[in-house]
Chain A
Protein backbone atom coordinates (compact mmCIF):
# COMPACT_ATOMS: atom_id res chain seq x y z
CA UNK A 1 0.00 0.00 0.00
CA UNK A 2 1.44 3.40 -1.00
CA UNK A 3 2.06 6.21 1.52
CA UNK A 4 -0.70 8.84 1.76
CA UNK A 5 -0.16 11.91 -0.40
CA UNK A 6 1.33 14.95 1.34
CA UNK A 7 -1.17 17.79 0.84
CA UNK A 8 0.63 20.55 2.75
CA UNK A 9 4.33 21.07 3.16
CA UNK A 10 5.63 23.68 5.61
CA UNK A 11 9.38 24.28 5.42
CA UNK A 12 11.62 26.47 7.58
CA UNK A 13 8.97 29.09 8.17
CA UNK A 14 9.77 32.18 10.25
CA UNK A 15 7.64 35.09 11.40
CA UNK A 16 8.63 37.88 13.73
CA UNK A 17 6.52 40.36 15.68
CA UNK A 18 7.27 43.37 17.85
CA UNK A 19 6.49 43.41 21.57
CA UNK A 20 6.22 47.16 21.98
CA UNK A 21 3.37 49.16 20.39
CA UNK A 22 5.51 52.22 19.48
CA UNK A 23 8.35 50.10 18.05
CA UNK A 24 5.73 48.08 16.17
CA UNK A 25 4.52 51.22 14.41
CA UNK A 26 8.02 52.61 13.92
CA UNK A 27 9.30 49.41 12.28
CA UNK A 28 6.17 49.19 10.15
CA UNK A 29 6.75 52.72 8.87
CA UNK A 30 10.49 52.20 8.40
CA UNK A 31 9.93 48.96 6.48
CA UNK A 32 7.71 50.85 4.05
CA UNK A 33 10.58 53.20 3.26
CA UNK A 34 13.40 50.64 3.08
CA UNK A 35 13.80 47.05 1.91
CA UNK A 36 13.29 44.88 5.01
CA UNK A 37 13.78 41.60 3.07
CA UNK A 38 17.56 41.66 3.33
CA UNK A 39 17.61 42.01 7.11
CA UNK A 40 14.55 39.94 7.96
CA UNK A 41 16.50 37.25 9.78
CA UNK A 42 17.98 39.76 12.21
CA UNK A 43 15.86 40.66 15.22
CA UNK A 44 15.72 44.38 15.98
CA UNK A 45 15.17 45.79 19.43
CA UNK A 46 11.83 44.62 20.95
CA UNK A 47 11.27 42.05 18.19
CA UNK A 48 10.82 38.33 18.80
CA UNK A 49 10.27 35.21 16.75
CA UNK A 50 6.62 34.23 16.78
CA UNK A 51 7.46 31.36 14.43
CA UNK A 52 10.96 30.00 14.21
CA UNK A 53 12.18 27.43 11.69
CA UNK A 54 8.94 25.46 11.62
CA UNK A 55 8.69 22.51 9.25
CA UNK A 56 6.10 19.77 8.99
CA UNK A 57 3.91 17.91 6.51
CA UNK A 58 0.19 17.27 6.52
CA UNK A 59 -0.91 14.16 4.64
CA UNK A 60 -4.35 13.31 3.35
CA UNK A 61 -6.47 11.50 5.90
CA UNK A 62 -4.71 13.21 8.82
CA UNK A 63 -6.14 15.32 11.62
CA UNK A 64 -2.98 16.99 12.82
CA UNK A 65 -3.43 18.30 16.35
CA UNK A 66 -1.38 21.37 17.24
CA UNK A 67 -1.00 22.11 20.92
CA UNK A 68 0.99 24.67 22.84
CA UNK A 69 0.72 27.14 25.67
CA UNK A 70 -0.81 30.58 24.98
CA UNK A 71 1.57 32.64 22.84
CA UNK A 72 3.44 29.62 21.52
CA UNK A 73 2.75 30.64 17.90
CA UNK A 74 -0.06 28.25 16.95
CA UNK A 75 -2.47 30.89 15.61
CA UNK A 76 0.29 32.87 13.86
CA UNK A 77 1.36 29.68 12.09
CA UNK A 78 -2.21 28.93 11.06
CA UNK A 79 -2.67 32.49 9.78
CA UNK A 80 0.45 32.07 7.64
CA UNK A 81 -0.88 28.80 6.22
CA UNK A 82 -4.32 30.36 5.64
CA UNK A 83 -2.65 33.23 3.73
CA UNK A 84 -3.81 35.93 6.14
CA UNK A 85 -0.23 36.89 7.05
CA UNK A 86 2.31 37.24 4.26
CA UNK A 87 5.17 34.76 4.26
CA UNK A 88 8.61 36.39 4.53
CA UNK A 89 10.82 33.35 5.12
CA UNK A 90 10.37 29.67 4.38
CA UNK A 91 8.07 27.81 2.03
CA UNK A 92 4.43 26.75 2.09
CA UNK A 93 3.41 24.31 -0.60
CA UNK A 94 0.17 22.53 -1.39
CA UNK A 95 -1.60 20.73 -4.20
CA UNK A 96 -2.63 22.81 -7.23
CA UNK A 97 -6.12 24.32 -6.87
CA UNK A 98 -6.33 23.29 -3.24
CA UNK A 99 -9.00 24.95 -1.11
CA UNK A 100 -8.12 26.04 2.43
CA UNK A 101 -10.85 27.05 4.85
CA UNK A 102 -9.78 28.48 8.17
CA UNK A 103 -11.90 29.15 11.23
CA UNK A 104 -10.21 31.41 13.78
CA UNK A 105 -13.06 33.34 15.31
CA UNK A 106 -16.39 31.70 14.67
CA UNK A 107 -18.32 34.96 14.59
CA UNK A 108 -15.89 36.84 12.31
CA UNK A 109 -17.89 38.76 9.71
CA UNK A 110 -21.27 37.59 11.02
CA UNK A 111 -23.88 40.27 11.58
CA UNK A 112 -25.88 40.38 14.84
CA UNK A 113 -28.87 42.21 13.33
CA UNK A 114 -29.26 39.76 10.48
CA UNK A 115 -30.95 36.36 10.81
CA UNK A 116 -29.04 33.11 10.92
CA UNK A 117 -30.20 32.37 7.38
CA UNK A 118 -28.98 35.76 6.11
CA UNK A 119 -25.68 35.15 7.88
CA UNK A 120 -25.28 31.88 6.00
CA UNK A 121 -25.13 33.98 2.83
CA UNK A 122 -22.75 36.54 4.38
CA UNK A 123 -20.37 34.02 5.92
CA UNK A 124 -20.54 31.71 2.90
CA UNK A 125 -19.62 34.68 0.69
CA UNK A 126 -16.67 35.49 2.98
CA UNK A 127 -15.47 31.92 2.40
CA UNK A 128 -15.61 32.66 -1.33
CA UNK A 129 -18.83 30.82 -2.15
CA UNK A 130 -21.19 32.10 -4.84
CA UNK A 131 -24.93 32.55 -4.28
CA UNK A 132 -25.75 29.32 -6.12
CA UNK A 133 -23.12 27.38 -4.15
CA UNK A 134 -24.56 28.67 -0.87
CA UNK A 135 -28.11 27.82 -1.91
CA UNK A 136 -27.00 24.34 -2.92
CA UNK A 137 -25.48 23.84 0.55
CA UNK A 138 -28.37 25.40 2.48
CA UNK A 139 -30.07 22.07 3.22
CA UNK A 140 -26.77 20.62 4.48
CA UNK A 141 -26.15 23.64 6.75
CA UNK A 142 -29.69 23.50 8.12
CA UNK A 143 -29.39 19.78 8.78
CA UNK A 144 -25.86 19.90 10.23
CA UNK A 145 -26.46 22.91 12.48
CA UNK A 146 -29.79 21.48 13.73
CA UNK A 147 -30.97 25.05 14.38
CA UNK A 148 -34.39 24.59 12.75
CA UNK A 149 -36.65 27.64 13.13
CA UNK A 150 -33.92 29.49 15.06
CA UNK A 151 -32.27 30.15 11.71
CA UNK A 152 -34.83 32.91 11.23
CA UNK A 153 -33.90 34.64 14.50
CA UNK A 154 -31.39 37.51 14.62
CA UNK A 155 -27.86 36.11 14.98
CA UNK A 156 -27.22 38.52 17.86
CA UNK A 157 -29.74 36.59 19.95
CA UNK A 158 -27.89 33.30 19.50
CA UNK A 159 -26.12 31.70 22.44
CA UNK A 160 -22.41 30.97 21.96
CA UNK A 161 -23.29 27.34 21.35
CA UNK A 162 -25.82 28.22 18.65
CA UNK A 163 -23.32 30.61 17.01
CA UNK A 164 -20.74 27.83 16.99
CA UNK A 165 -23.23 25.42 15.41
CA UNK A 166 -24.02 27.82 12.59
CA UNK A 167 -20.51 29.10 11.91
CA UNK A 168 -18.97 25.65 11.98
CA UNK A 169 -21.67 24.23 9.67
CA UNK A 170 -21.04 27.01 7.13
CA UNK A 171 -17.28 26.46 7.26
CA UNK A 172 -17.54 22.72 6.69
CA UNK A 173 -20.04 23.33 3.86
CA UNK A 174 -17.22 24.96 1.88
CA UNK A 175 -15.83 21.46 1.41
CA UNK A 176 -12.18 22.43 2.00
CA UNK A 177 -9.16 20.31 1.17
CA UNK A 178 -7.32 21.67 4.19
CA UNK A 179 -9.57 22.64 7.08
CA UNK A 180 -7.97 24.79 9.79
CA UNK A 181 -9.91 24.68 13.05
CA UNK A 182 -8.26 27.07 15.52
CA UNK A 183 -9.99 26.74 18.91
CA UNK A 184 -13.24 26.96 16.96
CA UNK A 185 -14.83 24.13 18.90
CA UNK A 186 -13.98 25.55 22.32
CA UNK A 187 -17.61 26.54 22.76
CA UNK A 188 -20.83 24.69 22.02
CA UNK A 189 -22.66 21.82 23.63
CA UNK A 190 -21.11 18.40 24.00
CA UNK A 191 -23.56 16.71 21.64
CA UNK A 192 -22.69 19.09 18.80
CA UNK A 193 -18.96 18.85 19.51
CA UNK A 194 -19.14 15.06 19.40
CA UNK A 195 -20.98 15.31 16.09
CA UNK A 196 -18.26 17.63 14.72
CA UNK A 197 -15.49 15.29 15.82
CA UNK A 198 -17.22 12.32 14.22
CA UNK A 199 -17.75 14.40 11.09
CA UNK A 200 -14.08 15.46 10.96
CA UNK A 201 -12.93 11.86 11.25
CA UNK A 202 -15.21 10.78 8.40
CA UNK A 203 -14.41 13.90 6.38
CA UNK A 204 -10.66 13.27 6.21
CA UNK A 205 -11.25 9.78 4.84
CA UNK A 206 -12.02 11.42 1.48
CA UNK A 207 -9.05 11.66 -0.90
CA UNK A 208 -6.98 14.84 -0.60
CA UNK A 209 -8.53 16.06 2.65
CA UNK A 210 -6.71 16.94 5.87
CA UNK A 211 -7.35 18.94 9.04
CA UNK A 212 -5.15 21.17 11.18
CA UNK A 213 -6.76 21.13 14.60
CA UNK A 214 -5.47 23.74 17.04
CA UNK A 215 -6.48 23.39 20.66
CA UNK A 216 -5.26 23.54 24.20
CA UNK A 217 -7.82 21.01 25.30
CA UNK A 218 -5.84 17.79 25.53
CA UNK A 219 -8.89 15.61 25.98
CA UNK A 220 -10.29 16.85 22.66
CA UNK A 221 -6.93 16.42 20.95
CA UNK A 222 -6.67 12.88 22.28
CA UNK A 223 -10.08 11.99 20.87
CA UNK A 224 -9.72 13.57 17.44
CA UNK A 225 -6.05 13.80 16.38
CA UNK A 226 -4.16 11.26 14.35
CA UNK A 227 -0.83 13.01 15.08
CA UNK A 228 0.31 15.81 17.39
CA UNK A 229 2.74 18.74 17.12
CA UNK A 230 3.70 20.49 20.35
CA UNK A 231 4.75 24.13 20.01
CA UNK A 232 6.57 26.43 22.39
CA UNK A 233 8.02 29.91 21.78
CA UNK A 234 7.41 29.66 18.04
CA UNK A 235 9.11 26.29 17.61
CA UNK A 236 7.89 22.73 17.23
CA UNK A 237 9.36 21.04 20.27
CA UNK A 238 7.76 17.63 19.90
CA UNK A 239 6.11 15.55 17.20
CA UNK A 240 4.16 12.45 17.92
CA UNK A 241 4.12 9.25 15.98
CA UNK A 242 1.02 7.19 16.50
CA UNK A 243 1.24 7.55 20.26
CA UNK A 244 -0.89 10.66 20.79
CA UNK A 245 -1.16 10.10 24.52
CA UNK A 246 2.61 10.18 24.95
CA UNK A 247 2.86 13.49 23.02
CA UNK A 248 0.14 15.09 25.13
CA UNK A 249 1.85 13.80 28.24
CA UNK A 250 5.02 15.50 27.02
CA UNK A 251 3.07 18.76 26.51
CA UNK A 252 1.58 18.75 30.00
CA UNK A 253 4.95 17.87 31.53
CA UNK A 254 6.57 20.69 29.56
CA UNK A 255 3.96 23.18 30.80
CA UNK A 256 4.77 22.20 34.38
CA UNK A 257 8.54 22.29 33.95
CA UNK A 258 8.97 25.39 36.15
CA UNK A 259 7.50 23.68 39.21
CA UNK A 260 9.66 21.86 41.72
CA UNK A 261 9.76 18.08 41.38
CA UNK A 262 7.15 17.06 43.99
CA UNK A 263 4.55 19.65 42.93
CA UNK A 264 5.17 18.86 39.28
CA UNK A 265 4.53 15.13 39.78
CA UNK A 266 1.33 15.84 41.73
CA UNK A 267 -0.01 18.26 39.13
CA UNK A 268 0.92 15.93 36.31
CA UNK A 269 -1.00 13.12 38.02
CA UNK A 270 -4.07 15.35 38.44
CA UNK A 271 -4.09 16.43 34.79
CA UNK A 272 -3.41 12.88 33.61
CA UNK A 273 -6.24 11.50 35.73
CA UNK A 274 -8.71 14.09 34.43
CA UNK A 275 -7.74 14.43 30.78
CA UNK A 276 -5.52 11.57 29.71
Chain B
Protein backbone atom coordinates (compact mmCIF):
# COMPACT_ATOMS: atom_id res chain seq x y z
CA UNK B 1 0.00 0.00 0.00
CA UNK B 2 1.48 3.36 -0.98
CA UNK B 3 1.89 6.22 1.46
CA UNK B 4 0.54 9.66 0.73
CA UNK B 5 2.04 12.78 2.30
CA UNK B 6 1.14 16.22 1.01
CA UNK B 7 4.19 18.06 2.39
CA UNK B 8 3.14 21.13 0.45
CA UNK B 9 1.03 23.40 2.60
CA UNK B 10 0.23 26.95 1.57
CA UNK B 11 1.09 29.59 4.16
CA UNK B 12 -1.93 30.02 6.43
CA UNK B 13 -3.21 33.55 6.83
CA UNK B 14 -4.06 35.45 10.03
CA UNK B 15 -1.89 33.14 12.15
CA UNK B 16 0.66 34.22 14.73
CA UNK B 17 3.51 32.28 16.38
CA UNK B 18 2.34 30.07 19.24
CA UNK B 19 3.84 30.34 22.74
CA UNK B 20 5.59 33.67 22.12
CA UNK B 21 9.27 34.32 21.66
CA UNK B 22 11.71 32.26 23.69
CA UNK B 23 14.62 34.62 22.97
CA UNK B 24 13.19 37.60 24.83
CA UNK B 25 15.37 39.98 26.81
CA UNK B 26 15.73 39.34 30.54
CA UNK B 27 13.63 42.38 31.49
CA UNK B 28 10.81 41.31 29.12
CA UNK B 29 10.91 37.82 30.57
CA UNK B 30 10.75 39.19 34.10
CA UNK B 31 7.62 41.15 33.17
CA UNK B 32 6.24 37.95 31.61
CA UNK B 33 6.94 36.09 34.87
CA UNK B 34 5.04 38.73 36.84
CA UNK B 35 2.12 38.54 34.40
CA UNK B 36 2.01 34.74 34.65
CA UNK B 37 2.03 34.91 38.45
CA UNK B 38 -0.98 37.22 38.35
CA UNK B 39 -2.77 35.10 35.76
CA UNK B 40 -2.08 31.87 37.67
CA UNK B 41 -2.58 33.31 41.16
CA UNK B 42 -5.32 30.76 41.86
CA UNK B 43 -2.97 27.91 40.94
CA UNK B 44 -0.37 29.42 43.28
CA UNK B 45 -2.96 29.47 46.07
CA UNK B 46 -4.07 25.89 45.36
CA UNK B 47 -0.50 24.55 45.28
CA UNK B 48 0.28 26.23 48.61
CA UNK B 49 -2.83 24.67 50.20
CA UNK B 50 -1.91 21.25 48.77
CA UNK B 51 1.68 21.47 49.94
CA UNK B 52 0.88 22.56 53.47
CA UNK B 53 -2.15 20.36 54.14
CA UNK B 54 -1.10 17.21 52.24
CA UNK B 55 1.21 16.01 55.00
CA UNK B 56 -1.50 16.39 57.64
CA UNK B 57 -4.58 15.25 55.69
CA UNK B 58 -4.71 11.88 57.43
CA UNK B 59 -3.97 13.31 60.85
CA UNK B 60 -6.76 13.96 63.39
CA UNK B 61 -4.97 16.95 64.88
CA UNK B 62 -3.99 18.16 61.40
CA UNK B 63 -2.07 21.43 61.17
CA UNK B 64 -1.39 21.41 64.93
CA UNK B 65 1.71 19.41 64.00
CA UNK B 66 3.13 22.61 62.54
CA UNK B 67 3.34 23.88 66.14
CA UNK B 68 4.04 20.60 67.98
CA UNK B 69 7.15 19.66 65.96
CA UNK B 70 9.12 22.89 66.71
CA UNK B 71 8.06 22.78 70.38
CA UNK B 72 9.59 19.29 70.64
CA UNK B 73 12.82 20.57 69.00
CA UNK B 74 13.01 23.44 71.45
CA UNK B 75 12.47 21.10 74.41
CA UNK B 76 15.34 18.91 73.19
CA UNK B 77 17.66 21.92 73.08
CA UNK B 78 16.65 23.02 76.58
CA UNK B 79 17.14 19.48 77.96
CA UNK B 80 20.59 19.16 76.36
CA UNK B 81 21.62 22.48 77.82
CA UNK B 82 20.19 21.58 81.24
CA UNK B 83 22.24 18.38 81.20
CA UNK B 84 25.37 20.49 80.65
CA UNK B 85 26.21 18.81 77.35
CA UNK B 86 26.51 22.05 75.42
CA UNK B 87 28.94 24.62 76.76
CA UNK B 88 30.80 26.11 73.79
CA UNK B 89 32.20 29.22 75.45
CA UNK B 90 31.04 32.75 75.90
CA UNK B 91 28.12 34.09 73.90
CA UNK B 92 26.33 37.43 74.34
CA UNK B 93 23.04 35.72 75.06
CA UNK B 94 22.39 32.33 76.77
CA UNK B 95 23.85 29.60 74.60
CA UNK B 96 20.63 27.61 73.95
CA UNK B 97 18.93 30.81 72.84
CA UNK B 98 21.95 31.64 70.65
CA UNK B 99 21.94 28.23 68.96
CA UNK B 100 18.18 28.12 68.63
CA UNK B 101 18.05 31.47 66.90
CA UNK B 102 21.16 30.91 64.77
CA UNK B 103 20.02 27.49 63.51
CA UNK B 104 16.61 28.94 62.82
CA UNK B 105 18.11 31.71 60.66
CA UNK B 106 20.42 29.17 59.04
CA UNK B 107 17.45 26.92 58.22
CA UNK B 108 15.82 29.89 56.52
CA UNK B 109 18.78 30.06 54.11
CA UNK B 110 19.20 26.30 53.74
CA UNK B 111 15.45 25.71 53.25
CA UNK B 112 15.29 28.30 50.47
CA UNK B 113 18.20 26.49 48.79
CA UNK B 114 16.63 23.06 49.24
CA UNK B 115 13.15 23.81 47.94
CA UNK B 116 14.33 25.70 44.86
CA UNK B 117 17.14 23.30 44.02
CA UNK B 118 14.63 20.41 43.90
CA UNK B 119 11.95 22.25 41.97
CA UNK B 120 12.61 20.56 38.60
CA UNK B 121 13.67 17.13 39.82
CA UNK B 122 10.68 16.79 42.19
CA UNK B 123 8.08 18.10 39.78
CA UNK B 124 9.52 16.97 36.44
CA UNK B 125 6.76 14.49 35.70
CA UNK B 126 4.13 17.13 36.43
CA UNK B 127 5.96 19.69 34.29
CA UNK B 128 6.05 17.49 31.18
CA UNK B 129 2.43 16.41 31.40
CA UNK B 130 0.77 19.77 32.07
CA UNK B 131 1.37 23.16 30.53
CA UNK B 132 1.64 25.91 33.13
CA UNK B 133 4.25 28.58 33.94
CA UNK B 134 6.95 26.95 36.06
CA UNK B 135 7.71 30.16 37.91
CA UNK B 136 4.45 29.53 39.79
CA UNK B 137 6.00 26.36 41.19
CA UNK B 138 9.20 28.18 42.25
CA UNK B 139 7.28 30.98 43.99
CA UNK B 140 4.95 28.46 45.65
CA UNK B 141 7.90 26.52 47.04
CA UNK B 142 9.47 29.69 48.44
CA UNK B 143 6.17 30.83 50.02
CA UNK B 144 5.61 27.42 51.66
CA UNK B 145 9.18 27.55 52.93
CA UNK B 146 8.55 30.98 54.49
CA UNK B 147 5.33 29.70 56.14
CA UNK B 148 7.19 26.67 57.48
CA UNK B 149 9.83 29.02 58.88
CA UNK B 150 7.49 31.55 60.47
CA UNK B 151 5.45 29.15 62.67
CA UNK B 152 8.41 27.60 64.57
CA UNK B 153 10.06 30.98 64.68
CA UNK B 154 7.26 32.42 66.81
CA UNK B 155 7.79 29.54 69.24
CA UNK B 156 11.50 30.37 69.30
CA UNK B 157 10.62 33.96 70.20
CA UNK B 158 8.68 32.69 73.23
CA UNK B 159 11.71 30.63 74.29
CA UNK B 160 14.01 33.64 73.84
CA UNK B 161 11.71 35.66 76.09
CA UNK B 162 11.86 32.84 78.64
CA UNK B 163 15.67 33.10 78.55
CA UNK B 164 15.37 36.76 79.43
CA UNK B 165 16.15 38.25 76.02
CA UNK B 166 14.98 41.83 75.99
CA UNK B 167 13.72 42.77 72.52
CA UNK B 168 14.07 46.36 71.37
CA UNK B 169 11.97 48.16 68.75
CA UNK B 170 14.76 47.52 66.23
CA UNK B 171 13.79 43.82 66.40
CA UNK B 172 10.77 44.67 64.27
CA UNK B 173 13.17 45.10 61.34
CA UNK B 174 14.32 41.50 61.73
CA UNK B 175 12.11 40.03 58.92
CA UNK B 176 13.56 42.56 56.45
CA UNK B 177 17.11 41.60 57.36
CA UNK B 178 16.38 38.02 56.24
CA UNK B 179 15.68 39.07 52.63
CA UNK B 180 19.35 38.84 51.50
CA UNK B 181 19.51 35.27 52.88
CA UNK B 182 16.38 34.41 50.88
CA UNK B 183 17.97 35.83 47.71
CA UNK B 184 21.21 33.96 48.31
CA UNK B 185 19.52 30.61 49.08
CA UNK B 186 17.02 30.88 46.24
CA UNK B 187 19.65 31.98 43.70
CA UNK B 188 21.94 29.11 44.61
CA UNK B 189 18.95 26.74 44.54
CA UNK B 190 17.87 27.82 41.05
CA UNK B 191 21.37 27.19 39.75
CA UNK B 192 21.59 23.76 41.37
CA UNK B 193 18.06 22.91 40.11
CA UNK B 194 19.49 22.96 36.58
CA UNK B 195 22.55 20.94 37.61
CA UNK B 196 20.32 18.24 39.15
CA UNK B 197 19.08 17.49 35.64
CA UNK B 198 22.33 17.48 33.68
CA UNK B 199 25.16 17.33 36.20
CA UNK B 200 24.03 15.23 39.15
CA UNK B 201 27.56 15.01 40.59
CA UNK B 202 27.86 18.80 40.79
CA UNK B 203 24.46 19.06 42.44
CA UNK B 204 25.38 16.44 45.05
CA UNK B 205 28.63 18.31 45.65
CA UNK B 206 26.67 21.54 46.09
CA UNK B 207 24.39 19.84 48.66
CA UNK B 208 27.43 18.66 50.62
CA UNK B 209 29.01 22.12 50.46
CA UNK B 210 25.86 23.79 51.80
CA UNK B 211 25.68 21.27 54.66
CA UNK B 212 29.38 21.78 55.43
CA UNK B 213 28.96 25.55 55.21
CA UNK B 214 26.90 25.40 58.38
CA UNK B 215 30.01 24.41 60.31
CA UNK B 216 31.97 27.27 58.75
CA UNK B 217 29.40 29.80 59.93
CA UNK B 218 29.08 30.93 63.56
CA UNK B 219 25.86 29.10 64.31
CA UNK B 220 26.65 26.56 66.96
CA UNK B 221 29.74 28.47 68.10
CA UNK B 222 30.45 32.15 68.71
CA UNK B 223 32.13 34.32 66.00
CA UNK B 224 35.24 34.82 68.19
CA UNK B 225 37.36 31.79 67.21
CA UNK B 226 40.86 30.96 68.39
CA UNK B 227 41.62 28.52 65.55
CA UNK B 228 43.35 30.70 62.90
CA UNK B 229 42.33 28.89 59.71
CA UNK B 230 38.69 28.65 60.79
CA UNK B 231 38.72 32.29 61.87
CA UNK B 232 39.88 33.28 58.35
CA UNK B 233 37.12 31.26 56.67
CA UNK B 234 34.50 32.65 59.03
CA UNK B 235 35.79 36.13 58.32
CA UNK B 236 35.29 35.82 54.55
CA UNK B 237 32.07 33.80 54.75
CA UNK B 238 29.15 36.09 53.74
CA UNK B 239 26.78 34.04 55.90
CA UNK B 240 28.71 35.12 59.02
CA UNK B 241 27.49 38.67 58.41
CA UNK B 242 24.09 37.89 56.90
CA UNK B 243 23.16 35.66 59.86
CA UNK B 244 25.04 37.58 62.55
CA UNK B 245 23.44 40.90 61.59
CA UNK B 246 19.89 39.47 61.84
CA UNK B 247 20.69 37.67 65.10
CA UNK B 248 22.20 40.68 66.85
CA UNK B 249 19.46 43.02 65.66
CA UNK B 250 16.81 40.74 67.09
CA UNK B 251 18.42 39.84 70.39
CA UNK B 252 20.45 42.97 71.26
CA UNK B 253 19.15 45.68 68.96
CA UNK B 254 22.72 46.24 67.68
CA UNK B 255 24.17 46.13 64.16
CA UNK B 256 26.77 43.39 63.65
CA UNK B 257 29.37 44.50 61.07
CA UNK B 258 26.87 46.67 59.13
CA UNK B 259 29.30 47.52 56.32
CA UNK B 260 29.92 43.84 55.42
CA UNK B 261 26.23 43.06 55.86
CA UNK B 262 25.20 45.65 53.28
CA UNK B 263 27.98 44.69 50.84
CA UNK B 264 27.04 41.00 51.00
CA UNK B 265 23.34 41.85 50.84
CA UNK B 266 23.90 43.71 47.59
CA UNK B 267 26.08 40.87 46.30
CA UNK B 268 23.29 38.37 47.19
CA UNK B 269 20.77 40.41 45.23
CA UNK B 270 23.03 40.55 42.16
CA UNK B 271 23.82 36.83 42.50
CA UNK B 272 20.08 36.03 42.65
CA UNK B 273 19.31 37.90 39.44
CA UNK B 274 22.23 36.26 37.63
CA UNK B 275 21.01 32.82 38.74
CA UNK B 276 17.41 33.67 37.84
CA UNK B 277 18.51 34.72 34.37
CA UNK B 278 20.40 31.44 33.88
CA UNK B 279 17.42 29.46 35.20
CA UNK B 280 14.97 31.26 32.89
CA UNK B 281 17.18 30.65 29.89
CA UNK B 282 17.79 26.93 30.32
CA UNK B 283 14.96 25.51 32.42
CA UNK B 284 12.67 24.87 29.41
CA UNK B 285 15.39 23.16 27.41
CA UNK B 286 16.45 20.95 30.29
CA UNK B 287 12.90 19.76 30.90
CA UNK B 288 13.01 17.58 27.80
CA UNK B 289 16.17 15.95 29.15
CA UNK B 290 14.50 15.16 32.45
CA UNK B 291 11.98 12.81 30.89
CA UNK B 292 14.73 10.41 29.84
CA UNK B 293 16.14 10.23 33.36
A residues apposed to B, CB below 8 Å: 5-6, 8-9, 11, 15, 17-18, 21, 24-29, 31-32, 55-57, 79, 81-87, 91-96, 98, 100, 102, 104-105, 108-109, 111, 113-114, 121-122, 125-131, 134, 230, 236-240, 249-250, 253-254
Contact = CB atoms under 8 A, between A and B. Distances in A.
Nearest first, the 6 A-B pairs at minimum CB distance are A28-B198, A93-B15, A108-B129, A125-B43, A6-B12, A83-B19
Contact of B5 (A121, A130, A238): A238
A238 B4 CA distance: 5
Interface stretch (B104-112, B224-232, B284-292): B284-292
A240 B13 CA distance: 23
A109 B129 CA distance: 9
A113 B42 contact: no
B57 interface: yes
Contacts of B194: 32
B197 A28 contact: yes
A24 B293 contact: yes
Nearest to B44: A125
Interface residues on B, range: 35 or more
A213 to B, nearest CB: 17
A174 to B, nearest CB: 11
Contact of B43 (A11, A81, A128): A128
Contact of B284 (A86, A249, A253): A86
B162 to A, nearest CB: 37
A84 B3 contact: no
With a 10 A CB-CB cut-off, give which of B9, B47, B58, B127 has the most chain A CB atoms. B9
Interface string B249-293: 000000000000000000000000000001000101111110011
Contacts of A28: 197-198, 285-286, 289
B289 A24 contact: yes
Given A57-B12, A94-B15, A239-B6, A83 B131 contact: yes
A17 B288 contact: yes
A84 B287 contact: yes
A21 B131 CA distance: 25
A56 B132 CA distance: 25
A83 B285 contact: no
A9 to B, nearest CB: 4
A92 B18 contact: yes
7 contacts: A6-B15, A11-B9, A26-B198, A32-B198, A95-B15, A125-B43, A127-B130
